[in-house]
Chains A and B, each alone.
Chain A
Amino acid sequence: MASSSTSVVVSNKEKENKNTKKVTLKSSDGESFEVDESVAMESQTIKHIIEDGCANNEIPLPNVTSGILSRVIEYCKKHKEAAGESEPSVTSYTSNSTTNPLTEWDTEFVKVDQNTLFDLILAANYLDIKGLLDLTCKTVADMMKGKTPQEIRETFHIKNDYTPEEEAEVRKENQWAFE
């Protein structure tokens, strides 16, 4: 990575460690994680912070707890390794295992309880990590497939605010979807 031509402000200390640049991410509960800059840049949000030159000491992430942050970092590391060293990976999650070699790993990664899964969605959204957002949203969508509306309500604890008549009307309007 060229040191002189970039417009990013880099400190002298960082110039010495060009190849293994690290950044520190701080979770909402005060824990710090040191990661390779290239891994952190899987997150577009962090990437913009670094490029804007605001990443002097630590990058605070007030919306992400340490538990979730450690998982997110695990995800980014794994995907960065798989994509190669050159640029941030642009592989988005696909269920097609021939194009995505990490399908199995991804499937295991999302085998977590609902709360954690939802926190991962929020973190992926906040940190703007496309692959993780794809993966987690697809997982939730898969949980809905094949279920009746009542089963969906039960799975996700959603209150039914329809009266029986209203529900019957809606069902009649969309009868084809139930067949």
Chain B
Amino acid sequence: MALESSTEVSLVPRRKIRKRRKMRKENPEEDPIQSPCRKRRRKHPDEPEPEPSYEFLNKIPVAILFEILYRLPSRTAHLCKSVSKRWYSLISNPSFARGFIHHRRRHSDSEPFNLLLRYTIRYYMGPPKDKIQVLPFNSSETCSDGKYGNNILNFLPCFKRGRLYKNDFGVASFNDLLLVHNRVTSARKKVGFCEYYICNPYTKQWFKLPRCSSHTLRTDKVGFICEAYENAHYRYKVVLIHSPNEPNATQLHMEVFSSEIGKWCKSVVSSPRGLNPFKRKFECAGVVVACNGMLHWVDTEVNGMIKGFVVFDPFNDAERCNYIDLPVNFSPQVEFGFGVPDNFSFGVFRGRLRILHNPRAGFNHTFSFYVWELEDYNNAGTWCMKHEVCYENMVFEHDLSRYVGLARNFRYSMVEFLAFHPDNGEIVFFKFRNYQVMCTVNMRTRESKMAGKLNCSQWGSLSSAFLLPQPLWPTPVPPLPLQFECSNNC
């Protein structure tokens, strides 16, 4: 069965290639494709033998060829696969990628990353639209003008359909891979189905999963997790978690797509605590993050307030999930008169789960936020408060104060948390609610600086932010690359 992917021929069996070569060997005249080529490549009888130092690159030890190729940008290194079959198999070999990454790491400090922001734009008329924006950070705290632009996922077929179809998509990420799950309904609401794509926005490779039998509701959560194992092969799982129908459910119904099995399987997972139907009062409540080899998502009270985290390890412990309570000293999130709940977000830093709590109680309250990090998964979780920042102690750099009232946005908590900086544990990215500007806050020095301009409509509200590392060697999207027969010793 042929699955759709960006390289549709990649599942064309190698038999075809071998067959052509066999044909060429046996009946060179009959193979119409080959004969013109053969004619072109036939050596003219007067042409002198090439000197031995030519084809140097094919004769030197592989280790030296690698030393040369390691010094290329990764894009050029991928391009070199087209030079010859020998180069293709050498560069596609996982040991090359490992050496490439190792060589780069020795020569540079931090790796660039991209911030992927998802907005929901509500127009006066018509349905809300979702937009994705990617901001590249080249190993600094300010973003450069990205060449990605705003239509980063346009290479996926689901976004190329006509306006008669409505897309409602969600995103999960793992390293530089994205899982896009898209619920499609036609304008007449006749057809409804959910598609799942795994893609790498950097290389624009994508792969579509086979269709899932059960319906995906808007409230369901989708997680995506990969596990690398020997020789840079990796296996992955896409987990569709159905919302419990009643409060205090001790079982979760899931559908899991496993790369090793190749199809969706239903499973029932038991929970040590009663779980409530999924609510999306907080924007972060819809997100499932992968961290430490496990999937994490929030559990809410019936009214939508955050209660704790559910942790699920689909590779090692697929029949039960764990529960993590919120930190002991967490101040309660009470909704005050204006009905504005505390700001709560979570993210990952260096394989650790972190939460950011921005209490917004009271009219006279000034801005402050706390960052907690999960240190131990046992005994319903042990947290450690890593940082505490108050508005009074903050120092705003000149650029921020220039925008009149920007700094004041902090005071009235008109800021939204975006992400934790992947390399520097002290830096957090914020976005201003009413200004298209991003800033960083260094939690140790309390400095706040401009980080970049956003290019989104003012009517957009941020629904999720993802940090995508820009790895030194892009992760290939399944299925794995082509295989070529190669005559030289590769």
**Does B434 lie at the interface of the complex (its beta carbon under 8 Å from any beta carbon of A)?**
no
Task: Give the residue name and chain of the A residue nearest to B74 (CB).
Answer: A177
Tell whether A115 is near chain B: CB-to-CB under 8 Å.
Answer: yes
Return the contact of A174 from the options B9, B57, B64, B81 (Cβ within 8 A). B81
Q: Interface size for chain A: under 10, 10 to 19, 20 to 34, or 35 or more residues? A: 35 or more
Q: Which residues of A contact B79 (CB under 8 A)?
A: 148-149, 174, 177-178
A164 contacts chain B at the CB level, 8 A cutoff? yes
List which A127-144 residues lie within 8 A (CB) of chain B. 133, 137-138, 140-141, 144
Which stretch, B65-73, B167-175, B334-342, B392-400, touches the partner chain A? B65-73
CB distance from B11 to the nearest CB of A (A): 12
CB < 8 Å neighbour of B60 from A121, A162, A165? A121
Q: Is the CB of B9 within 8 A of A172?
A: yes
Rounded to whole Å, the gap between the CB of A122 and the closest CB of chain B is: 7
- Measured between C-beta atoms, what is the minimum distance from A169 to chain B in Å? 5
Interface residue SS majority, chain A: helix
Asked if B69 and A157 sit within 8 Å, CB to CB, the answer is no
Kindly count the residue-residue contacts between A and B in the assembled complex, taking CB atoms under 8 Å apart.
Answer: 115
Q: Contact at B204–A145, with CB atoms within 8 Å?
A: no
Question: Which candidate, B48-56, B182-190, B383-391, B403-411, is the interface stretch facing chain A?
Answer: B48-56
Are A173 and B83 in contact, with the CB atoms below 8 A? no
Is B84 a contact partner of A159 (Cβ separation < 8 A)? Answer: yes
The answer to whether the Cβ of B205 comes within 8 Å of any Cβ in the partner chain is yes
Given the known interface contacts A137-B71, A174-B78, A175-B204, the answer about A163 and B60 at a Cβ–Cβ threshold of 8 Å is no
A156 to B7, CA, bound (A): 29
- CA A160 to CA B38, docked complex, whole Å: 12
Q: What are 13 A-B pairs at a CB distance below 8 A?
A: A125-B64, A141-B72, A145-B76, A149-B83, A156-B56, A157-B50, A157-B56, A158-B55, A172-B9, A175-B204, A176-B75, A177-B203, A178-B79
Write the residues of chain B forming the contact surface with A, with a CB cutoff of 8 angstroms. 6-7, 9-10, 17, 20, 33-34, 37, 50, 53-58, 60-61, 63-64, 67-73, 75-76, 78-88, 202-205, 481-482, 484, 487
Q: Which A residues are within 8 Å of any B CB, using their own CB? A: 114-115, 118, 121-122, 125, 133, 137-138, 140-141, 144-146, 148-149, 152-153, 156-167, 169-178
